[in-house]
Amino acid sequence: MRPLTDHTPKPMIPFHGKPFAAYLVEMLKEQGIEEVVFLLGYLPEVVMQYFGDGKQFGLSIKYSVLPVEAETGARLRGALDQLQENFLLLYCDNYWPLQLRKLEERWKASRAEAMLVVYSNDDQFTKDNVRVSDAGLIEAYDKTRTVPGLSGVDIGFGLFSRQHVESLPNGNVSFEKEVYKKLVARGQLAAYVSMHRYYSIGSLPRLEDTKEFLRFRPVVFLDRDGVINRKPPRGQYVSTIEEFEWLPGSLEATVLLSEAGFRLCIVTNQAGVARGMIAAATLQKIHGRLTEEVESAGGRIEAIYCCPHHWDEKCFCRKPQPGLFFTAQRTIHCDLTRSYFVGDQDEDGIAAERSGCRFILKSEERTLLEIAREIIMENKI
């Protein structure tokens, strides 16, 4: 990361006026964390001077400083008296939108001694270094990334217990080599597999995407039929431009949200394509007209994500599966946990839960325009 780190520790690289580590601390505060311990080596005074005792962030911050060459195991052992019985370990070069309650619930249900967050890496974003069993346990962990059958990436977020630190041998030991290896051998290292991309300061080429993500520009995902336009009868589809009919207040809602600073994306199932009831080219023309009408009114649809598959194909992009949301997340670099999804049926709510979005149900009694006003008031943008 040189020359950026010549005089600055990597976690203190600035984005939008504050260091990367500040985003992590703020996220931990939002998740209910009350105490943070920084394990420092390189230029520790830079970190300590910025964060102080943590009061300005609404939590307590402590520090443990060892030489630069100290491995994570040695650093944890040096901070043993500052660790709780169970603790969250974060490596400060990755940001992943933590949902601590879900993480703890999954850990408890797994009955494993420890748990790591694993990025699914189905998009081959980086090289795999773990293999997860069907039972949700990590059965291979390989930092060299050469073991056959690896699928998934440890992102440096994990739940552990003090006993794992207390059992470390003396010396400058690697936590991964000493603890992870033994946990895997015992079948006691669970995986929380996430399809939400993590954002890194580990290499210069990734900084632009990280910078865009950390803008935290709010996104509202909108279902199409029944939310934006009048829904056709069951088993039928909007098959021509003329059949597309805006619901009362929906066009105005897209303008209001756009003017308030929200990014708008549409996510829609259109099995009529697979069923031969509408041509893909026609669907594209309908969406082109939709986008044009929003722009003419003063709003903006950033992207439209569509599943054209038949429901019998059991694809991962057809709601209530969350595939469209994760495609959007990786494309526009948004935080799904800070996003909204407005849908008109129960399966939309399931898709929101699976993707991490906040769900809002649109009904005949509750227009999209009313929902838009509520979202804007809640965020006070």
Q: Average pLDDT in the 70-84 region?
A: 95
Distance CA 4, CA 156 (A): 22
Distance CA 225, CA 34 (A): 44
Given pLDDT bands bounded at 50, 70 and 90, which one contains residue 5? low
Bridge partners (DSSP) listed for residue 15: 18
**How many CA within 13 A on the CB side of residue 259?**
11
Residue 381 has pLDDT above 60, yes or no: no
Active site residue 223: yes
Give me the sign of the Cα torsion angle 27, 28, 30, 35. Answer: negative
By CB atoms closer than 10 A (0-12, 13-18, 19+), residue 182 is: middle
- Exposed e or buried b per residue across 291-325, where buried means at least 16 C-beta atoms within 10 angstroms of its C-beta: beebeeeebbbbbbbbbbbeeeeeeebbbbbbbbb
Residue 380 has pLDDT above 80, yes or no: no
Distance CA 126, CA 121 (A): 7
Collapsing DSSP states into helix, strand and coil, what is residue 151? coil
What pTM did the predictor assign?
0.93
Q: Average pLDDT in the 99-105 region?
A: 96
Q: Give the other-Cβ count within 10 Å of 6's Cβ.
A: 8
pLDDT tens digits, one per residue of 324-353: 999 999 999 999 999 999 999 999 999 999
Q: Average pLDDT in the 196-202 region?
A: 94
Residue 199 has pLDDT above 90, yes or no: yes
Q: Give the per-residue pLDDT at 117.
A: 98
Q: Using alpha carbons, select from 213, 239, 211 the residue that is nearest to residue 328.
A: 213
Q: Average pLDDT in the 187-211 region?
A: 94
pLDDT tens digits, one per residue of 262-313: 999 999 999 999 999 999 999 999 999 999 999 999 999 999 999 999 989 9
Q: Average pLDDT in the 109-124 region?
A: 96
Residue 2 has pLDDT above 90, yes or no: no
Residue 6 has pLDDT above 90, yes or no: no
Bridge partners (DSSP) listed for residue 192: 117
The two three-digit tokens of residue 237, written as one number: 């589809």
Q: Measure the CA angle with vertex 143, ends 140 and 146; round to 5°.
A: 70
The two three-digit tokens of residue 270, written as one number: 């259109």
What's CA 275's distance to the chain center, in Å?
A: 33
Q: Give the per-residue pLDDT at 1.
A: 57
The two three-digit tokens of residue 198, written as one number: 């993590």
Q: Report whether 262 contacts 341 (CB < 8 A).
A: no
Q: Measure the CA angle with vertex 358, ends 354 and 361; round to 5°.
A: 100
Q: Using alpha carbons, select from 195, 28, 183, 37 the residue that is nearest to residue 115.
A: 183
Active site residue 81: no
In this structure, the dihedral spanned by the alpha carbons of residues 42, 43, 44 and 48, taken in order and rounded to 10 degrees, is -150
Q: Average pLDDT in the 365-380 region?
A: 93
Give the containing element (helix H, strand E) for 354: helix 346-355
Among residues 154, 223, 344, 348, the one annotated as catalytic is 223
Residue 162 φ then ψ, to 5° = -55, -35
Residue 138 has pLDDT above 60, yes or no: yes
Given pLDDT bands bounded at 50, 70 and 90, which one contains residue 58? very high
Distance CA 179, CA 161 (A): 11
Residue 166 has pLDDT above 80, yes or no: yes
Q: Report whether 174 contacts 72 (CB < 8 A).
A: yes
pLDDT tens digits, one per residue of 202-261: 888 899 999 999 999 999 999 999 999 999 988 889 999 999 999 999 999 999 999 999
Q: Report whether 362 contacts 342 (CB < 8 A).
A: yes
- Exposed e or buried b per residue across 230-264, where buried means at least 16 C-beta atoms within 10 angstroms of its C-beta: ebeeeeebbbeeeebebbebbbbbbbbbbebebbb
In this structure, the dihedral spanned by the alpha carbons of residues 225, 226, 232 and 233, taken in order and rounded to 10 degrees, is 130
Q: Give the per-residue pLDDT at 59.
A: 97
Mean pLDDT, the chain, rounded, equals 95
